[in-house]
Amino acid sequence: MAKTKNLLKNAEQKKNQLNWQLFNFLENLLVFCAMPTRRVPKESGVCFQINSKAKDEAICILFETDRKKDHLVKEPTPQLHSPKKPDYVVLYAKGNICIITIIEMKGKEKKKLKRRD
């Protein structure tokens, strides 16, 4: 009960800083990583947004997981030498369907890619 009370208190204050002493991975994701919009800022010339139709027909939440000041994924696993950190996670739920997608942004500047129209 006290943990739920702390969760609600931090959600109201929305300090926007992960708290590993009070919360587990999922709680930190839900409280601190949910984005207020479904459009991400440009990263190396690339950006995306989630269609508003997804919001109208279902629950669709965009989470920023590779945050600049405090990363959600920070510890390497025993199988990996360095942690793999996706930039975003999208949760889409409608009826009995639930899709969770990770998104890694790859900029076009690194390889000097050009958009084909």
* 62 has a pLDDT exceeding 50: yes
pTM over 0.75: no
Q: What is the pLDDT of residues 2-35, one digit of tens each?
A: 666 665 665 555 567 888 888 888 898 888 888 8
pLDDT computed for residue 97 by the predictor: 93
Residue 12: phi and psi, rounded to 5, are -65, -45
**Which residues lie closer than 8 Å to 54 by C-beta, 6 or more apart?**
38, 60, 92
